[in-house]
Structure 1
């Protein structure tokens, strides 16, 4: 469990570092650079471990889809934390397991039980509570964390499709390798859109360094969480994902002065309660329909 706690906490630290780039470079460009660094670094490790033979492309259409949806989730999440308190964006991101359950019913024809629907209704009630002040201030941009959660939900579905088709390292290489071109395209489109906040100039050295640092820490964090699942059951590890929310709350208060009000805390608690209840139901009546919990897409 210590491995899981360290891994999930590291993801929130990365999110906090990404938030520090707000106003210095567009979220689209930050995401593109972070995943470019990640793809190159992970591919180098794969080559060192397995040589050319390690580079395979099983189920290529699903791999492209994984890259697209993690790119979508990352752009939405990075843009969200540029605009919103870190803890609120992170809390909304945790609706992805419920969305995965609903999408599995719609796309994979799996049965969505009452517990999926109950958890989804409770979670989205929490989302509405958390979004209450942000919609008034930000308009439709306040829905960016939901876009990220949707992207992560689709990613989880395609992760299931490609499970057991290659090593964990190969799967990381492929998702980063396909995400990077999509993110570069998004940054390019944003730059030429005429929308000033998406204009991509030459970044400061500190921005490049922070993107590289997050690429390393995020990849390491995912590896630590994977290692944790080899030492304890996934069922034991899953609830540990919520340490991210606690870390995000602390980072937001200490470094960005984001102190949530009681209503926002209550909304976040509803989302967490829905996720934990869904996890608990999975232990009582295990079914394929109950999706795994994931962290943020950094």
Structure 2
């Protein structure tokens, strides 16, 4: 639980650094640079750990699909925290666990229990409540974290489809590699076609340092989560994810001076409660099965 808690606490720190780069470099370029650093570091780690055999894979299209899903999720979420309060963007993205359960039913034929349907409906209600003031303030760009949640849920489903194929080192490398490829393509296309994605030149040294820190911290957090799942069940770890919402809210208020909207708080609370309800129901179901 400590490993998972440290991991989930570390993810919002990267989000804070991303938000501080708003206006310094366009979103696709920042994301491409961040994942390129991670891909290079993970390639070296995979080579040292498994040698040439670590780079041999089956069903490469699945790994490419993982990278594409991560690309969409990264661009939309980074764009959201560029223009929205960090706490709001993170809260809306927390629809992810419910969407994952829904996608599991559709694509992996894992039947959803009534409790999952209840949690999903309540969480969507919370998202709609949070989106109302945000759409009024920012326009339809406020839907970006919801798109990010859909993309990240798709990535989780794809991760499960390849989970038995390779080691954690190979899995981390290939998703970072394909994400860096797709994000670089997006950055080049955006540079020539969209004004806000125009890359003015080489990044400032502060952007380079921040991207490096994000790549290192995010990769370490993913490894900590993997280590945590080796030591306990997902049911124990799942509720700890909501520490991200608390940390993001603290940073949103103290670092960026964002005001806490009461309506948004209600929506965030519904998302939080639905997640806790889903976790408790999953633990109860697991206990019954074990008995």
The answer to whether the 8 Å contact 2:100/2:156 transfers is yes
Alignment partner of 2:166: what SS?
coil
1:174 is matched with 174
Q: Tell me, in whole angstroms, the C-alpha distance in 2 between the residues paired with 1:76 and 1:37.
A: 20
Corresponding position of 2:229: 229
Alpha-carbon separation, structure 2, partners of 1:2 and 1:113: 29
The answer for the alignment partner of 1:57 in structure 2 is 57
| TM-score after normalising by structure 1 | 0.92
Q: Report the Cα distance in structure 2 between the residues aligned to 1:167 and 1:16, rounded to whole angstroms.
A: 30
The 5 A counterparts of 1:55-94 are 55-94=55-94
Match of 2:265 in 1: 265
Secondary structure of 1:285's aligned partner: helix
Separation in 2, partners of 1:201, 1:172: 31
**Number of the residue aligned with 1:295:** none
* CA displacement at 1:49 relative to structure 2: 1.7
Give 1:106 shift: 2.7
How far apart are 1:141 and its partner, in Å? 0.8
Matches within 5 A, 1:1-298: 1-193=1-193, 195-202=194-201, 203-286=203-286
Mapped partners of 2:103, 2:231: distance in 1: 30
1:291 matched to which residue of 2? none
Aligned residues: 286
Between structures 1 and 2, the one with greater helix share? 2
Question: Which ranges of structure 1 fall in alignment gaps of 5 or more residues?
Answer: 288-298
Output the CA distance in 1 between the equivalents of 2:262 and 2:134: 15
Taking structure 2 as the reference length, the TM-score comes to: 0.94
Aligned partners of 2:134 and 2:142 also within 8 Å: yes
Mapped partners of 1:234, 1:98: distance in 2 = 15
Deviation at 1:286, TM superposition (A): 4.1
1:151-201 CA-partner distances (Å, limit 9, x unpaired): 0110111111111211111100011011111111111121111x3211112
> Counterparts of 1:55 and 1:239 in 2: how far apart (Å)?
34
Which segment drifts farther, 102-111 or 74-83? 102-111
Question: 1:122-151 deviations in whole A, cap 9, x for unaligned?
Answer: 111111111122101221111000110000
- The CA distance in 2 between the partners of 1:34 and 1:187, in whole Å, is 12
Once residues 102 and 5 of structure 2 are traced to their aligned partners in structure 1, the CA distance between those partners, rounded to angstroms, is 28
1:252 and 1:138 mapped to 2: Cα distance?
Answer: 17
The 8 Å contact of residues 57 and 165 in structure 2, kept in 1 or not, is answered as: no
**What stretches of structure 2 of length at least 5 have no aligned partner?**
none
The superposition leaves residues 68-102 of structure 1 with CA deviations (integer Å, 9 ceiling, x where unpaired) of 10111111110000011111111111111111222
Q: Distance in 2 between matches of 1:189 and 1:145?
A: 22
Report the Cα offset of residue 227 of structure 1: 1.7
Separation of aligned partners in 1, 2:164 and 2:107: 21
Shift of 1:217: 0.6
Q: Counterparts of 1:259 and 1:218 in 2: how far apart (Å)?
A: 27
Q: Structure 2 CA distance, aligned partners of 1:213 and 1:153?
A: 25
CA-CA distance at 1:210 after TM superposition:
0.5
Give the CA RMSD over aligned residues: 1.5
Return the alpha-carbon distance in structure 2 between the equivalents of residues 259 and 232 of structure 1.
38
